[in-house]
Structure 1
């Protein structure tokens, strides 16, 4: 087990206290826990590359941890009313893209094709995680809520575009004739 893998596992473990804090109305604590989880997302990859500890387990767990954290956060934001009405559309775009890209990565890996994370996808993740930190403060948080929802729409637009890019690359790779 590498340090990077432990950081990824830590991100998964943080989901439960984040959820408990959010549901108990401890918005500041929830925001801090989510921010900490977001930092581990950046830091685990950095540590793995810097220390030469990129492993199959870490490479598998990292996107799974991201999907777990994203799905849990969006579900909780809907439950607390921070995401409501038409704002469910970007939440749905984000969730559907996560499922699609996870499946495409699995399918293309079986063909020896990798779908590496792009720079734009990293910007998408940053916008998404920033939105989530603001959304921790709930629907009655005034400007913080508005900032969170605007960032959610921006993240969804980037999600849609990067999802299209990954899908296009995967479809091209998976529809090549077998020799």
Structure 2
């Protein structure tokens, strides 16, 4: 159970309360530091998967914990940006992203219980959604529009990527549903 990839995943879970607390500190650099901690967690998501494959240390516990850790930190970040921006333009795509995560998790669990997990395995659209979502959240969490006097449009890019991730979310939800549809229909 305590393989290197699983330890990295547990580190990501431990980062969640640290990320939330730091982000809401009454400190000039709190949002930047919170965004950095979120970035670090996003990198560990890639890193633990790489290590599991490279070291041949894939475990059932890791297969369970990795997506849970992802959903926990992304859920926290989505709640935090809806609080920070207090805007319907952030809240709607955040809700779409959360709905997709819950729906796909339930679909994957049901398919897995029926021995059909390969039907809804991660595809390119899901990976692209995750990448856009992570970059959007880093940009929006940081609140950074200027860096060393230069306009960098990080928040503006965050908005665009959040909507792009929401669109990919809907697309991937439809794709996974269509792939599973005949099995769902047969179960009735």
Matched-pair contact (CA < 8 Å) for 1:121–1:162? yes
1:101 counterpart residue number:
104
- Assess if the C-alpha contact under 8 Å between 1:8 and 1:62 holds in 2: yes
Deviation at 1:139? 8.6
Return the TM-score normalized by structure 1: 0.91
User: Cα distance 1:139–1:87, how it changes in 2: closer, same or farther (>3 A)?
Assistant: farther
Deviation at 1:177, TM superposition (A): 6.0
Partner of 2:139: 134
Q: Which residue of 1 aligns with 2:186?
A: 176
Counterpart for residue 53 of structure 1: 57
Q: Given the superposition, is the C-alpha separation of residues 140 and 84 from structure 1 closer, same or farther in structure 2, using an over 3 Å criterion? A: farther
- Pairwise CA distance, 1:101: 0.6
Displacement of 1:73 after TM fit?
A: 0.4
**1:84 is matched with which residue?**
87
> What does residue 157 of structure 1 align with?
167
Gaps of 5+ in 1: none
Structure 2 residues without counterparts, runs of 5 or longer: none
CA shift in 2, pair 1:147/1:57, >3 Å: same
Residue 4 of structure 1 aligns with which residue?
A: 5
- Give structure 1 regions of 4+ aligned residues with deviation exceeding 4 angstroms: 139-142
State the alpha-carbon separation in 1 of the partners of residues 168 and 54 from structure 2. 28
Q: 1:27 to 1:170 in 2, by over 3 A?
A: same
Change (3 A) 1:22 1:173: same
TM-score (structure 2 length as normaliser): 0.87
The size of the alignment, in residue pairs, is 177
The root-mean-square deviation of aligned C-alpha atoms, in Å, is: 1.9
Distance 1:85 1:77 in 2: 11
Closer/same/farther in 2, CA of residues 177 and 66 from structure 1, 3 Å limit: closer
Shift in Å, 1:75: 0.5
Q: In structure 1, how many angstroms separate the alpha carbons of the residues matched to 2:182 and 2:99?
A: 20
My pick for the range that moved more, 149-158 or 115-124, is 115-124
